[in-house]
Amino acid sequence: MANFQTHLNVGILVSAVTTLGLHTAGLVQAGQALPYFTLGVVGSLLPDIDLKTSRPSNALFSALGAVLAFIMTLPLTGRFLPLELALIWGGVFLSVRYGFFEIFSRLTVHRGIWHSWLAIAAVALAVTNIAYWLWRQSPELSWLAGLMVGIGYLTHLCLDEFYSVDLFNRKIKRSFGTALKLFSLASPWSSFVMFMAVLALWWLAPPADMWLERIQTESLVDLHGTFDQFREALNGAWTQVESWLERLLRSGQTVLGASAALD
């Protein structure tokens, strides 16, 4: 599964740089970096959820089942006995993992609607809403969560498009143009339903005023400042990576030194 690995690796790289950039810009605290990074990586694997029999989509539905089961049961802690909670957890997990997966795979076509800009909007907005309404995050952090998944998702579609690869390592150049489309012409009904979902999610989403203000006051008026900020963010991210490497090397040397001392 070399191409699944490629999606994973590039997803990790892009999510790491984005998270470090957000942290350097002061938007994400150090303690929140890991969840945001994870959201980006999940986003970069999510589009191939439309592949029926692949290991990735099976794994994705297992993970989705577990995550949804936690989302449903954690707020109920204290109101139910541990055994009851475990039963609810198991029920949610099994119905997502097998029931929902079966329905979903009957309804979807690989590289159909889930490989489109419309899907990026739907998934990012869905995560923004989950972060806001279920995880009780601030509007700002909720939008950032949606953004991370959106960036991961976009990374996957770009990779599909540029390399025209699929999960089974066949080189199909025919597939060019099937990943980064606005919506799916081949399945107008799915496109319509997804479009309605995007409208509903947009309506439900937390206020985005602070972002619009930020964009107006900082980015558009002061493009130069934004560029400087971006460069600073990249510099910061690089310094962070450097210090990690340094620490890694140092701990490697310590281990080597210790084993040499033992000899």
Minimal distance, residue 149 CB to Zn ion, in Å: 15
Instruction: Determine if 50 is a binding residue for Zn ion (CB under 5 A).
Output: no
Contacting range for Zn ion; rule: CB under 5 A; set: 21-29, 35-43, 46-54, 59-67: 46-54
CA-CA distance, 222 to 193, in Å (whole number)?
39
131 or 160: CB nearest Zn ion? 160
- Whose Cβ is closer to Zn ion: residue 104's or residue 230's? 104
Q: Which helix (H) or strand (E) holds 107?
A: helix 101-107
Span from 13-21, 43-51, 83-91, 101-109 in contact with Zn ion (CB under 5 A):
43-51
Q: How far is the CB of 2 from Zn ion (least distance, A)?
A: 14
47 scored as a contact of Zn ion (CB under 5 A):
yes
- Measured from each CB, the residue nearest to Zn ion is 160
Q: Closest CB to Zn ion among 155 and 160?
A: 160
Closer CB to Zn ion, 4 or 101, in the complex: 4
- Given 48, 116, 128, 165, the residue binding Zn ion (CB under 5 A): 48
Task: Record the tokens describing residue 106, joined without a space.
Answer: 């009957």
Cα distance between residue 63 and residue 56, in whole Å: 10
100 vs 8, 95, 126, 166, 173, CA distance in Å?
Answer: 24, 6, 17, 24, 32
Least distance (Å) between residue 73 CB and Zn ion: 31
How many residues sit in the footprint of Zn ion (CB under 5 A)? 3
CA 37/CA 15 separation, integer angstroms? 5
Helix %, strand %, coil % of the chain (to 5): 80, 0, 20
Contact between 206 and Zn ion by CB under 5 A: the answer reads no
- For the CB of residue 229, give the shortest distance to Zn ion in the complex, in Å: 32
Please name the residues in contact with 22: beta carbons below 8 A apart, sequence gap of 6 or more.
28, 36, 144, 233
Nearer to Zn ion, 185 or 260 (CB): 185
Residue by residue, what is the 3-state secondary structure of 180-238? CECCCCCCHHHHHHHHHHHHHHHHHCCCCHHHHHHHHHHHHCCHHHHHHHHHHHHHHHH
Contact track, Zn ion, 152-191, x by CB under 5 A: --------x-------------------------------
Binding site for Zn ion (CB under 5 A): 47-48, 160
